[in-house]
Homo-oligomer: A and B are copies of this chain.
Amino acid sequence: MVRLKDVAYQAGYDISTVSKVLQGGNIHVSAEARERITKAAAELGYRPNLMARGLRTRKAGAVVLGFPCLDHPMYPAITEGAEQAATELGLALFAYKFPPEGAANALLDLVRQGRADGIILASEVPDCDFVKLATESRVPVITLNEYSTDPTLSVVLDDAAGFALQATYLAGLGHTRIAYVGVHPESTGSRSCEESFKESLRKQGVLIDPSYIFGGSFGGDNASEVVDQILKLEQRPTAIATASLTMGTRIIRELSTRGVDVPNQINVIGYHDSKQAEWTTPSVTTVRMPSVVQGRCAVERLFAVLNSQKSLAAEVISEPIEVIERESCCLLSEMNLPHLPND
């Protein structure tokens, strides 16, 4: 291991001078010293020992992106953005998949033990306990959902706009009988997504019957049951809006299994985007949310908090939100319906 001391010896300067130069600030050091020290460091292949630095400065220079699972299609996008920002800010970014049980402590310990300076919590389920525990331990946390009591400690997507767009898009295709499959029916976030969806539809003169509203999950584990219920409906909807891409994909699969063709007999739209949406038959039309931007902003905000620039106002990421048109939706008039809905 090459230490500051070794570089100092090689360059002929004191260790403290070397330290100053290698930190690259605007310190008052002669050009010659700067040059010789830089050269010596490069020759020796010096790398600062971050444990020693961290012990001294009480900063780890790292942040953690905590996930409940690695296979949700939204996470790669968040990670991509977070990584960009982390690189720019000189932070190390670790992805940490926390275990379902004891999630809170495993994650918080990363900071309490000095491995990281803060946490970005990308949990899909509301976890107020975590935020409370973090606050008590004074662990800086940015959530990617609105679980925080302090809205400036969250970076949320504008799901109201996202679901409004989803609704507008379906209405624009001519649909009037639309089912909605949400996620986490118990959470207020999901409730407001549903409200926004319905409200947007209402504005366009489309009313949605309560019996057309279903609960689900991001993973779409109950897709089969939901499809059964939808197909039992007295008046079958011509479109199904879902709150996750996976749910959309799995609903399409369940419909196919039962001989219902998408999009000809029923349309399905997802929420959030991923390359995988292209690989199924039919490919999945979906509302793409700016998850990359969200990841980026989360890291920037955490950085600001860590440096106590707490001036940042609460932020909602609302651009770009767009419908990615693929095969699972089409104009109502182009569908192959047994009989047109009667109103």
Residues of A within 8 A of B (CB): 47-52, 54-55, 60, 62, 69-71, 73, 75-76, 79, 83, 87, 92-97, 99, 109-110, 112-115, 246, 249-250, 252-253, 256-257, 274-276, 278-281, 283
Contact = CB atoms under 8 A, between A and B. Distances in A.
A73 B76 contact: no
Contacts of A70: 70, 75-76, 79, 95
- Copy number in this complex? 2
A47 B178 CA distance: 53
Contact of A280 (B97, B274, B281): B281
A60 B69 contact: no
Nearest to A70: B76
A95 B97 contact: yes
A49 B110 CA distance: 10
A71 B76 CA distance: 6
Contact of A281 (B71, B252, B274): B252
Given A55-B52, A109-B47, A76 B69 contact: yes
Contacts of A71: 73, 76, 274-276
A279 B256 contact: no
Contacts of A246: 279
Contacts of A69: 76
A78 to B, nearest CB: 10
